[in-house]
Structure 1
Amino acid sequence: MHFVIRNLKKLLVLALAGIGATGILLAQQTRDNSRDFGFDAGASYEVTGITVDASGEDAEEARRNAWEQAQREGWRMLYARVNGGPASRAPNLSDSSLSAVVTGIIVEEEQIGPTRYVARLGVMFDRARVSRYLGVSGVIRRSPPMLVLPVQWVGSTPTSFEERTPWERAWLRFRSGESPIDYVRASGTGPTPLLLTVGQTGRPGRGWWRFLLDSYGAADVVVPVVHLHYAYPGGPVYGRFVAYHGPDRRKIAQFSLRVRSSESLDQLLDEGVRRIDAAYTQALEDGRLRPDPSLNFEFGIDEEALEEALDELQGSVAAADTPPAEQAVNTEQATATGRYTIQVVTPDANAVRNSEALVRGTPGVRGATTSSLAIGGVSLMEVNYIGDLDTLASALAARGFQVQRGAGTLRISRGGGSEGSDTPDGP
């Protein structure tokens, strides 16, 4: 029977003992930090943490017996996980049948002796082939696509995609085939280091979040965070893990892990990824991992506001050709009822609501509606006012606004200091 190891994130260097029946050597292993792991995680079920202890006439036979044992145990664990109930209810499959549905053996830890093999293994099953034995179609309920933005803290320094981190690589190693969470993992190349930064995780503006999510084909975002503390160089490493969800960073779970040596950092982070995935899975089941409804909007043009602006522009052009006597009459009419488009600095949603309420409460104002919303920028507000623009500017200043006068428009803001240049931008 031929076995093929498809463990693409570990290159195993097996050390066999030369003489001595009781000698068992620890296998050495290195990790490939490449971003392209070359496997389809969505096509496999994975069962990990299988402890085996087998013997044989030589080291090769002992390892082969151990792997067959891992396949049988992994099959029972997988059946129990998918169908519920005890593992003893799993149908008995022959070794040849299991070999046909197993796509790889994952070596987590191993010790090899001349006639004995002790290890902790994982088994990967082909989703399509094993589904007929599991009694399922191979399709599991999955969440909407979730963009993964991992953040690693070492001391007081946070890092996301600005540079490659062990935490980012741990998420790239994670095989999410059997997870109900549809993770969207960025490659970390191109514009990603400039877009998916630590600062982005704290920005509430939905417009920029929607742009980023659309760029990566996601519907929402999850932010797994790890705080690493090294006791001393080469010594124990402590990790505090926090799972956040959404632009507002709603906490899903928090836990801590520890390893005895910094050489086991990857093992610590891999276990952290596994537990965070379990926390997100539980949150999906109990309804906490729902897409943020504030992200579900589309950019567009307010056609009604555009038509009104064009009508006002045409009226201004016509007024330029009107004789002075008629302009005086029109001025009196405008004084009776005027409609003005003013600019409002709106750093957040509260600023929009507060500005509208204050403008509506200004004496002489008969109506105020935000016609163009720009959270974090400058919005446009349509104001019906009995009076001219200068009088409106004075009235708004009396209400506590910082007012800037421009060519045919006003810019208003709340708080101290001047906003931008002396002349506001056009509507």
Structure 2
Amino acid sequence: MDFHGVPAKDRNVRRALLPLLGFGALAGAVAVWAQIEGGDRGVPPIDSSGSFEVSGIDVDVSGKSPDAARLGGWRIAQRKGWQLLWAKTHGGSLGGIPADSVLDGLVAGIVVEQEQVGPTRYVAKLGVLFDRARAGALLGVGGSVSRSAPMLVLPVEWSGGGPISYEAQSEWQKAWARYRSGGSPIDYVRSSGSGADPLLLTAGQAQRPGRIWWRLILDQYGAADVLVPQVRLDRRYPGGPVFGVFTAKHGPDGRILGSFTLRAASSDALPALMDEGVRRMDQLYTEALAAGELRPDPSLIAPAAPDDSLLNATDLPAVEDNGTAPVTAGSSVISVQFASPDSASITATESAVRNVPGVTAASTSSLAIGGTSVMRVAFNGDAAALQAALVAKGLKVEDVGGSLRISR
């Protein structure tokens, strides 16, 4: 398939973090984009929320000032976006448009695909992100998406004869950071590429089959398995066409799930080529998940603990789990993953789990501030019973390959 590129400057995605609440939001979005583009290695992933997305909305608005014209264009975009989203979820039928004050509460962000701003005119192609939980209630569709087990993404780019992953910034890494993964059934675990990431997540690691080291890495990032999306770039001459051969791989053994080729007219269109490559790659992984081919590799699961059923538990003293509560006979220790953006969230999650009936101990065994931490929970029952008890407490819990994950 030929993919003739659009100028890269027209494809830059700039999200308004607080849309339509003042033009300070636009300045904040530009600051976030500058942070993403800056630095030698780190490219923080953006927008992993499960938003409904409507793109390609054309607006042409006049106003008394550039800011007034832009605000008018954004309001028109969210009205058109709601109509398109309603038609998409209701078989093409058109529905009414809520008041602007209601839409302001449903819109999670504005994506600027292209724009031209004049003294009194605003011409743009925009995208609108609708909050899934709030918009889903009005649309009459589910507010959640069934997703795969958490999969660590290790993007590898071959360019100029050598592969790179997180050792240095690449257009392939930036494209994965830009991708809005919340609407995908694949639970991508994306790294920023900063800190220790360039030492752990290397192109060489993608070719190592050893399970012990993979277990350590996956536990560090709170993932159950690894996906290796690979692209090999071929430039015929400087500034000329760029051909990209994309290959979707899964697991430490690099099992190939599919491949495809895209073409950009020039090097300026390389970011657009990469964005399309990520979108097509997600389709391959989604098809593999639907076919049952994206299950976590059993060899990545740590060996089970020795069977202690022959021990006489009545002759042993109670074991304390980090001083929180005794692990009694008949209890099972279950791993629970949870998001830990700060220390306060860790304390709150531990407290909530300890208050669940049947839990005798709960302590964080793998700490990752700003990422996914792992908690060891001693529970009088199996994992299914613990999941039901946590759900009864109002928590959103899913089974991810034998362990549980609390979603925010």
Using the size of structure 2 for normalisation, the TM-score is 0.61
8 Å Cα contact 2:36-2:43 kept in structure 1: no
- Rg larger in structure: 1
8 Å Cα contact 2:59-2:124 kept in structure 1: yes
Determine the C-alpha separation between the residues in 2 that align with 1:255 and 1:110. Answer: 31
Q: How does 1:286-325 map to 2 (within 5 A)?
A: 286-298=291-303
SS of residue in 2 equivalent to 1:50: strand
Residue aligning to 1:226: 231
Cα offset for 1:209?
2.2
Determine the C-alpha separation between the residues in 1 that align with 2:252 and 2:141. Answer: 35
Q: Among all aligned residue pairs of Structure 1 and Structure 2, give the percentage whose two residues are the same amino acid.
A: 52
Change (3 A) 1:77 1:206: farther
8 Å Cα contact 2:46-2:178 kept in structure 1: no
Residue in structure 2 matching 1:173, options 173, 178, 190:
178
Change (3 A) 1:279 1:153: same
Residue 46 (str. 1) matches residue 40 (str. 2): no
Residue aligning to 1:70: 77
Residue aligning to 1:409: none
Change (3 A) 1:279 1:49: farther
Letter in 1 for 2:204: G
Residue aligning to 2:112: 107
SS of residue in 2 equivalent to 1:248: coil
Q: How does 1:103-182 map to 2 (within 5 A)?
A: 103-182=108-187
Letter in 2 for 1:161: Y
Determine the C-alpha separation between the residues in 2 that align with 1:195 and 1:269. Answer: 24
Residue aligning to 1:274: 279
Residue aligning to 2:204: 199
Letter in 2 for 1:51: D
SS of residue in 2 equivalent to 1:42: coil
8 Å Cα contact 2:242-2:266 kept in structure 1: yes
8 Å Cα contact 1:33-1:169 kept in structure 2: no
Residue in structure 2 matching 1:254, options 253, 259, 262:
259
Determine the C-alpha separation between the residues in 2 that align with 1:247 and 1:12. Answer: 34
Cα offset for 1:84?
5.6
Residue 215 (str. 1) matches residue 223 (str. 2): no
Change (3 A) 1:137 1:185: same
Determine the C-alpha separation between the residues in 1 that align with 2:279 and 2:158. Answer: 19
Deviates more, 1:239-248 or 1:47-56: 47-56
Change (3 A) 1:188 1:61: closer
Residue in structure 1 matching 2:246, options 241, 244, 255:
241
8 Å Cα contact 1:11-1:32 kept in structure 2: no
Determine the C-alpha separation between the residues in 2 that align with 1:225 and 1:90. Answer: 42
Determine the C-alpha separation between the residues in 1 that align with 2:60 and 2:246. Answer: 33
Change (3 A) 1:49 1:222: farther
SS of residue in 1 equivalent to 2:183: coil
Change (3 A) 1:49 1:258: farther
Q: What is the aligned-residue RMSD (CA, Å)?
A: 3.4
Change (3 A) 1:159 1:80: farther
Letter in 2 for 1:85: G
8 Å Cα contact 2:257-2:288 kept in structure 1: yes
SS of residue in 2 equivalent to 1:41: coil
Determine the C-alpha separation between the residues in 2 that align with 1:245 and 1:93. Answer: 44
Deviates more, 1:4-13 or 1:147-156: 4-13
Cα offset for 1:268?
2.2
8 Å Cα contact 1:234-1:262 kept in structure 2: yes
Change (3 A) 1:80 1:296: farther
Cα offset for 1:39?
5.8
8 Å Cα contact 1:237-1:261 kept in structure 2: yes
Residue 85 (str. 1) matches residue 91 (str. 2): yes
Deviations 1:127-165 (A, max 9, x none): 333232122452110110000000011032111122222
SS of residue in 2 equivalent to 1:139: coil
Letter in 2 for 1:48: S
Change (3 A) 1:157 1:208: same
Gaps of 5+ in 1: 14-28, 304-427
8 Å Cα contact 1:10-1:31 kept in structure 2: no
Determine the C-alpha separation between the residues in 1 that align with 2:65 and 2:28. Answer: 26
Gaps of 5+ in 2: 1-19, 309-408
Deviates more, 1:100-109 or 1:145-154: 100-109
8 Å Cα contact 2:45-2:190 kept in structure 1: no
8 Å Cα contact 2:45-2:192 kept in structure 1: no
Determine the C-alpha separation between the residues in 2 that align with 1:268 and 1:284. Answer: 24
Change (3 A) 1:292 1:230: same
Letter in 1 for 2:139: L
Change (3 A) 1:92 1:146: same
Determine the C-alpha separation between the residues in 1 that align with 2:55 and 2:178. Answer: 14
Residue aligning to 2:195: 190
Determine the C-alpha separation between the residues in 2 that align with 1:191 and 1:108. Answer: 33
Change (3 A) 1:300 1:184: same
8 Å Cα contact 1:45-1:126 kept in structure 2: yes
8 Å Cα contact 2:44-2:193 kept in structure 1: no
Letter in 2 for 1:168: Q
Residue aligning to 1:365: none
8 Å Cα contact 1:107-1:119 kept in structure 2: yes
Change (3 A) 1:6 1:175: farther
